[in-house]
Amino acid sequence: MHFASDNTATICPEILQAIADANQGSVGSYGADALTARLTAHAKDVFETDLAVYPVGTGTAANALALATLVRPYGAVLCYEEAHIATDECGAPEFYMGGAKLVTLPSPDGLITPMQIESAMARAIDGGVHHVLPEAVSITQATEWGTVYDPERIGAIGAACRRRGLHLHMDGARFANALAHIGCSPAELSWKAGIDVLSFGATKNGALAAEAVIFFNPALAAGFERRRKRAGQLWSKMRFLSAQLIAYLENDLWLRNARHANAMATSLAKGLRAIPGVRLIQAVQANEIFVAMPDEMIEALQAAGAVFYRWIDVAGEPNPVVRLVTSFATTQTELDRFIGLAGQHAAIAA
């Protein structure tokens, strides 16, 4: 019953096998190997466009490097106020950007709007040189509340960005889960909707440690390779990063894993929703569910071995909120046990 995060899971077997398969002979280091070249070809196929793809080891690195490439040190990024980049990366974006700021926007469900972007830009411009100038917007897919931007919504944000000369970045730590939910093509959920740069996550969805920064306009990537090197993010044995990402994309592994994780979340939500005292706080669209439940129920579940986090308080909700995350490795047995325990506790408490 590990629902703390999808990154507590194992490496999925196909990806571990790909690492083993890549472990043959001497090859050029730092990306001068055949697998890394193949990864680029693969990514172009999957996203149906020319692009530049750069593997790195962590999602925080992917986000921070992407933003540093888009935003100058005297600039700023607009994002949701509880965005991972704003609250869970210990200031990595600010560090990589050389001090540029995140200007944050409130939201009840993690989704931000074109109108918020307009207002923030109007205020920044009004402030002249005394205010930082936003140069990019960053949205998270799926969001920090487990909700998903559909292509129309991204398109509207993309249009606002183009009007204001802003770049549009997507933190796609759970891009696969969002895509599995929407069911459109990867292109439709990214560059066709206006995304300039995507932090493409694989670690949470089955990799050992592999993320990729994908520039849909390769010209935007100027300088990226030196930025990655000076950030200590250029692996010498790069083939093992590329091998993970190739296996992830091959045979739709990424989507199969994501579909499983999403189905587990839906099932978990369905089971919990029926329990008295438990309230779903957000729509369940990907592999995270947020439920309010009594303190005693939380304690009982944790005492029984369930692992998960309490989340931030939600206005108007008397009970604490917890986050439950499923992964490619979550089993129905785990869900049943968790739901069963919660139900038992509710019955006793009633």
* Residue closer to a copy of itself, measured from CB, 90 or 303: 90
d(CA 140, CA 150) in angstroms, rounded, equals 12
* Residue closer to a copy of itself, measured from CB, 46 or 77: 77
- Residue 43 CB, shortest distance to a copy of itself, in Å, is 20
Q: Do the beta carbons of residue 100 and residue 137 sit within 8 Å?
A: no
* Residue closer to a copy of itself, measured from CB, 11 or 176: 11
- Residue 22 CB, shortest distance to a copy of itself, in Å, is 9
> For the residues of 132-150, what is the DSSP string, one character each?
-EEEEEEEESS-TTS----
- Residue 107 CB, shortest distance to a copy of itself, in Å, is 16
* Residue closer to a copy of itself, measured from CB, 158 or 206: 206
- Residue 178 CB, shortest distance to a copy of itself, in Å, is 19
* Residue closer to a copy of itself, measured from CB, 133 or 154: 133
Cβ count near 307 (within 10 Å): 13
* Residue closer to a copy of itself, measured from CB, 94 or 196: 94
Q: Do the beta carbons of residue 205 and residue 172 sit within 8 Å?
A: no
Q: Do the beta carbons of residue 195 and residue 154 sit within 8 Å?
A: yes
- HSE-CB at 211 with a 13 A cutoff on CA atoms is 26
Q: Which residues of 93-127 are buried (b: 16+ CB within 10 A; e: fewer)?
A: bbebbeebbbbbbebebbbbebebbeebbeebeee
Helix-helix angle 34-47:239-249, to 10 degrees: 30
- Residue 192 CB, shortest distance to a copy of itself, in Å, is 28
d(CA 217, CA 7) in angstroms, rounded, equals 30
Q: Do the beta carbons of residue 85 and residue 171 sit within 8 Å?
A: yes
- Residue 3 CB, shortest distance to a copy of itself, in Å, is 9
* Residue closer to a copy of itself, measured from CB, 90 or 350: 90
Output the CA torsion 118→171→65→96 (10° steps): 60
* Residue closer to a copy of itself, measured from CB, 11 or 278: 11
* Residue closer to a copy of itself, measured from CB, 23 or 251: 23
> For the chain, where are the alpha helices, taking DSSP H only?
13-22, 34-47, 59-70, 84-87, 92-96, 114-126, 151-164, 175-182, 224-230, 239-249, 253-273, 295-303, 332-349
- Residue 150 CB, shortest distance to a copy of itself, in Å, is 27
- Residue 53 CB, shortest distance to a copy of itself, in Å, is 16
Dig out the tokens for 281 from the structure: 């706080």
Dig out the tokens for 31 from the structure: 């990306």
- Residue 68 CB, shortest distance to a copy of itself, in Å, is 8
Q: Do the beta carbons of residue 102 and residue 85 sit within 8 Å?
A: yes
